[in-house]
Amino acid sequence: MQALSLGLLVVSGGRALALDEGLQGSKLLGTAGAVNIEGSGGGGLVPWAFIGGYGSDDEVAATVSASMTSVDDFGLRTTGLLVGFHNRLELSLAKQWLRVDPLALTITQHVVGAKLRLSGDVVYGTMPQFSAGLQYKRNTEATIPYALGADDNAGVDVYLAASKVWLNALLGRNLALSATARYTEANQGGLLGFGAVGERPQLVGEASLAIFLNRYWAMGVEYRQKPDNLAGVREHDWRDVFIGWFPSKSVSIVTAYTDLGSVAGQKQQEGLYLSVHLNTGNLK
């Protein structure tokens, strides 16, 4: 049922946002990337240095996104709104709902994000694009995080990301590589709270690799290292294999097979991820 309504959203959204070439954002198709589960422009799991939306250096553009991840004992739904200003600044809002099947309850979290492009460009020049970002997260269901030993129900992740698209890099195909260093104390991205007694924030590494098969299709892999703060419940790194479809600048869909490892004592959480992005044209 959720898949059906997502499908309808895509069709109606795609039509509503079908724009004349002149009104579209000017970034090249696919180079707006996707939106990660925390609402930042990136892949599915990892924020990239890309500024979200199709707005180029003298444009402003927004992206609305929705995703769902269904693994063995959990379901995560997210919605997000981001606005990219002049390919320089990205501001984002996201809400996450984690359905915990064994306990029949839902944990919700709000994420407010900001990302600033520091230097370089994703497509042009030899240097990668470097961006610095932060994500302020507030978990509104603190009972479970505290019960598991978390210190806090809110926290801030700070990250530095480097991304580059190499044109004609491999067998005549374009390649995108992104690496992110994140300073965080979030447990399972904050859904299980922040920190724990005796634990300090840590620096973790994240990376994505994508190959564009043509202008409309990309596939790739992602890896996201995580802290392991909570004594009672092991936390593993996240990874996924994804396929992205960019039929137009108005809409894109990413689907992935994702492996979240152990989550809140439930082992081997694997399953499907699906996200839909609707992009505006130039709003300026």
Partner 1 sequence: MALLISLSGGFGLLGGCATQTPIMHSGTSASQPVEDELFQALGGLEGIENIADQFLYRLADNDKVVHFWRNSNIERFRTQFVSHLCDLSGGPCVYEGDTMEAVHRGMDIRQSHFNSVAETLVLAMEDLHVPTAAINGLIARLAPLHDAVRSQLEN
Q: Is 127 in the site for partner 1 (CB under 8 A)?
A: no
Q: Is 119 in the site for partner 1 (CB under 8 A)?
A: no
The one among 36, 56, 163, 187 contacting partner 1 by CB under 8 A: 56
Answer left, alpha or beta for residue 104, where phi above 0 means left and psi between -120 and 50 means alpha.
left
Closest to partner 1 by CB, 29 vs 64, is 29
Q: Is 123 in the site for partner 1 (CB under 8 A)?
A: yes
Residue 158, token pair as written in the block: 């700070």
8: helix, strand or coil: helix
Q: Around Cβ 198, how many Cβ atoms within 10 Å?
A: 9
The one among 5, 143, 214, 268 contacting partner 1 by CB under 8 A: 214
The one among 12, 124, 245, 268 contacting partner 1 by CB under 8 A: 124
Residue 30, token pair as written in the block: 């696919």
Q: Is 245 in the site for partner 1 (CB under 8 A)?
A: no
Q: Are 212 and 244 in contact (CB under 8 A)?
A: no
The one among 15, 215, 234, 267 contacting partner 1 by CB under 8 A: 215
Q: Is 101 in the site for partner 1 (CB under 8 A)?
A: no
**Applying CB under 8 A, what is the total number of residues that bind partner 1?**
25
DSSP code of residue 43: S
Closest to partner 1 by CB, 128 vs 261, is 128
Q: Is 240 in the site for partner 1 (CB under 8 A)?
A: no
Task: Show the CA angle centred on residue 254, arms to residues 251 and 258, nearest 5°.
Answer: 160
Q: How many residues in total does the chain contain? A: 284
Closest to partner 1 by CB, 207 vs 218, is 218
Q: Where are the beta strands (DSSP E) in the chain?
A: 34-35, 41-42, 60-71, 74-85, 89-100, 105-119, 129-139, 154-170, 173-184, 202-212, 217-224, 238-245, 251-263, 266-279
Closest to partner 1 by CB, 6 vs 219, is 219
Write down the least CB distance from residue 26 to partner 1, Å.
4
Closest to partner 1 by CB, 36 vs 250, is 250
The one among 27, 77, 137, 164 contacting partner 1 by CB under 8 A: 27
| Exposure of 272 in the CB half-sphere (CA atoms within 13 A) | 6
By CB under 8 A, name the binding residues for partner 1: 20-22, 26-29, 56-59, 87, 121, 123-125, 167-168, 171-174, 213-215
